[in-house]
A = this chain, B = another copy of it.
Amino acid sequence: MLTDPVARTRRFHRAVTTEAGVLDASFLGRGRPLGPARVLNAIGRGITDIAEIRNYLRLDSGLMSRILRGLEDEGLITVSASESDARRRIAMLTKAGEEEFAAYEALSDKQAADIVARHPHPEVLLQAMDVVATALGFERTVIERVSPLDPRAVVCLEAYYEELGRKLKSGFDVNLSADPEACDMEHPRGAFLLAMLDGMPIGCIGLKGTDKGYAELKRLWIVPSARGMGLAQRMMTEAENEAKSLGIKCLRLDTNSVLSDAVAMYHKLGWTEIERFNEDPYPDLFFEKRI
């Protein structure tokens, strides 16, 4: 009973659907049926293409059409033809729509804050929720190329620096000049990849272009709640592909032997250990891979 995976999962499901009922009630707190409320929120969250909303919410085209007319009549959205394909239609929030969406957001934020607040040790609960959320949706993870200055990238990098600082005996101090290598990881000189799941960044990797006949992989980091799922390998592979498409033939990386899991992975992925190729104080292991 206490250890049976099925019993535990079903109990989790019961607990969560009870709670979800309460949370969905927040969607009903503004005198609007669930359907229109969900569509309005999808639009507010940036899914403006109607076919996409329809697919996301699994709505019949007829039903969708009527819901859109209703929201238009309320003055919350405007619908116009897509520029690239006049059959497709794009929904936009009006000013009133923005306000209504903000009101829903405020309700949801309050619900979320309440859940956390009534726990005596919020961080324990939050970490558990992170693990569950990552696990449940893991196959929806998408890897996208962004600028290393993208706020979502910055968030990952800061977490990476913080973690290195904890793990290296010497601590870790990013060069004071803010993100000195950012321009080298800007496409097409290099690249910066972000793994996104449910709107949350869960991992990153940088490809740093150089003028020395090789490129470097830098700043591979996976959020703790997503570790052990094979995401790091996927990021490495994607970064390699990115390098290939930029015509890069040789990759290098440096690391520290403290990060034993990472070192093991580099070996597994076909990297070979080489001599020190830079003067950085933190790394003590150096790898190369010809692609």
Contacts and interface: CB of A to CB of B under 8 A. Distances in A.
Interface of A: 1-2, 5-20, 23-24, 108-109, 112-113, 115-116, 119-122, 124-137, 151-152, 155-156, 159, 198-201, 223, 228-230
A17 B20 contact: yes
Contact of A155 (B1, B198, B223, B228): B1
A177 B18 CA distance: 42
Given A9-B129, A10-B108, 9 more contacts: A5-B116, A8-B133, A9-B112, A12-B129, A13-B20, A15-B132, A20-B20, A125-B132, A128-B129
Give 9 closest A-B pairs by Cβ, nearest first.
A9-B112, A128-B131, A12-B129, A15-B133, A128-B128, A12-B133, A5-B116, A15-B137, A6-B112
B2 A120 contact: no
A11 B109 CA distance: 11
Given A131-B124, A131-B125, A23 B15 contact: no
Contacts of A108: 10, 13
B136 A16 contact: yes
B135 A132 contact: no
13 contacts: A1-B155, A2-B200, A5-B112, A6-B109, A6-B112, A9-B115, A10-B109, A14-B198, A15-B134, A119-B135, A120-B228, A124-B131, A128-B129
A229 to B, nearest CB: 6
A6 B128 CA distance: 14
B126 A8 contact: yes
A109 B159 CA distance: 38
Nearest to A5: B116
Contact of A12 (B11, B17, B132, B152): B132
Contact of A5 (B5, B126, B135): B126
